[in-house]
Amino acid sequence: MPRPETVPDEPETDEGERPVDLGQLPGLVGYRLRRAQLAAFRNFSRRFEPFGIRPTQLGVLTIVARNPGLTQSRVGAALGIKRANLVPLLNELEERGLVARERASFDRRSHALHLTEAGEALFRDLLAREAEHEAEITALIGETGRRRLVELLAKVEQACGDAAGPEDE
Amino acid sequence: MPRPETVPDEPETDEGERPVDLGQLPGLVGYRLRRAQLAAFRNFSRRFEPFGIRPTQLGVLTIVARNPGLTQSRVGAALGIKRANLVPLLNELEERGLVARERASFDRRSHALHLTEAGEALFRDLLAREAEHEAEITALIGETGRRRLVELLAKVEQACGDAAGPEDE
DNA sequence: TATTGTTATACTCTATAACTATA
DNA sequence: TATAGTTATAGAGTATAACAATA
């Protein structure tokens, strides 16, 4: 039985007015997930603004960097991005000269992806900056907390995904 | 027999085609947050489909239910929703006869919000269903894990929000 | 002048269907 | 026929700017 009350309070109590009663929300995993994800996303965007890179793009760059020659479909499957939605994403990365598409030798329908030299260079910088971002979080919840969080999130994803995963089509 | 191609005969490695290397992603809080949040959102949507209620809408209903008479701006602030984006949300809830807008007596610019009787009734059902949803998660990570998760997420939100919170305008 | 609700608009991510060219 | 990439489109959520009524 989930307890409605688990976590202290909410921030949104500006200068004056009485605090708002959030009911069961502060104790719900789903609500906390939404708020935390949004906050982390904003933090990420701010930190990577100079690079013009959004979280999703860094995900794509990572997969391509670690798996050169992978096809679009498989990159999408690895990240839970439908192949239709990957197209404009790759278009931008390609136009910026970070990723290259190449007809696959083994199947002329497929595109084999790899990073350009510029892409490799940028990716290295991004990794460093990403580590800083992660360290910022660790600073507040500790390395133990961070690991536990990652572990719990993976389980939640699995639990929710079992019945209806991010299957492609 | 010259086979210039990379690999001749066993291209389809069955179901498995070698696993993709995700690099640092699986260990990153941000990445895990995104995947877990998406999975939880899908799970929520499936469970609440019969009610035609999305997570954001349940958030609004909760705040209005627990704080009758609250203004739109304050509801938005409590949930991290900008007041411009709250308008269409409330329009739908009002058209469905769940929420009512009323000119505030203390400030004729403001709208005081409250649930209709139908809104109250629906909200009670939603709460029950929400508890089931939460119990489903608890079943996998345990009550201790669930509490710890909620606690960690609140801290992450705070950590990321300190520098750039969801301030309105 | 400042604030509340509103309108209008744009951008990101997600989702589905249908097309093409290969297989 | 089935699949990979593509196109087109739609929806939800978020973001900013500006306007009318009110303070």
Distance from CA of A94 to the nearest CA of B (A): 21
Nearest CA among B60, B52, B53, B54 for reference residue B101? B60
pLDDT recorded at residue A56 = 97
Distance from CA of A49 to the nearest CA of B (A): 13
With cut-offs at 50, 70 and 90, classify the pLDDT of residue A26.
very high
With cut-offs at 50, 70 and 90, classify the pLDDT of residue A137.
confident
Tens of pLDDT, residues B35-84: 999 999 989 988 999 999 999 999 999 999 999 999 999 999 999 999 99
- The yes-or-no verdict on residue A139 having pLDDT over 50 is yes
| DSSP letter assigned to residue B169 | -
pLDDT recorded at residue A162 = 61
Residues of A in Cβ contact (< 8 Å) with B29 = 40, 134, 137, 146, 149-150, 153
With cut-offs at 50, 70 and 90, classify the pLDDT of residue A164.
very low
Q: Which of the listed ranges A93-97, A131-135, B14-18 does the model predict with the highest average pLDDT?
A: A93-97
With cut-offs at 50, 70 and 90, classify the pLDDT of residue B162.
low
Query: CA-to-C1' distance for B116 and C8, Å?
Result: 30
Instruction: Give the closest nucleotide to A81 (alpha carbon vs C1').
Output: C14
Kindly report the backbone phi and psi dihedral angles of residue A20, in degrees, each rounded to the nearest multiple of 5, phi listed first. -85, 140
Structure tokens of A5? 């009350």
With cut-offs at 50, 70 and 90, classify the pLDDT of residue B167.
low
- CB-based contacts of B49: which residues, under 8 Å, 6+ apart? none
Cβ < 7 Å from strand D, B residues 32-71: 54-57
What mean pLDDT is reported for chain B? 88
- CA closest to A1 among chain B residues: B135
Residues of A in Cβ contact (< 8 Å) with B17 = 74
Query: CA-to-C1' distance for A72 and D7, Å?
Result: 16
As a whole number of angstroms, the distance between CA B21 and CA A66 comes to 6
Chain-chain contact of A152 with B154 (C-beta, under 8 angstroms): no
Residues of B in Cβ contact (< 8 Å) with A44 = 30
Query: CA-to-C1' distance for B108 and D20, Å?
Result: 13
Tens of pLDDT, residues A66-110: 999 999 999 999 999 999 999 999 999 999 999 999 999 999 999
